[in-house]
Amino acid sequence: IYLDALQYRQSSGRAGRRGFDVQGHVVFVDIPLSKVSHLITSAIPNIRAHFPTSVTFLLRLLHLCSNAKDSQDAINRSLI
């Protein structure tokens, strides 16, 4: 299985049980030490969201927020 630094970091961030554990453990099986070292120490690329905006999206968002009780409700409704 191919595993790069970004995939490793994503998976290791999910180790442990959410809400129960403050840390988790990653176990490498049958992976050369040089590869493990590379995965752990490699920089990961900057991730940029490519969230598409369109007129339809903005109109739907305005409609959702117009029915909100207050600003927090608008934020919760918008999922942004």
Question: Within the chain, where are the H helices?
Answer: 5-12, 33-41, 55-66, 71-78
State the Cα–Cα distance between residues 7 and 13, nearest whole angstrom: 10
Q: Report the 10 Å Cβ neighbour count for 23.
A: 6
The closest of 23, 27, 21 to 8, measured between CA atoms, is: 27
pLDDT in tens, 23-48: 778 888 988 999 999 999 999 888 77
pLDDT at 79 over 70: no
Average pLDDT over residues 5-16: 81
Q: pLDDT tier at 54 (50, 70, 90 boundaries)?
A: confident
pLDDT in tens, 56-76: 888 888 887 787 888 787 777
State the Cα–Cα distance between residues 54 and 47, nearest whole angstrom: 22
Q: Where are the domains of the chain?
A: 5-41, 52-80
Global pTM value:
0.49
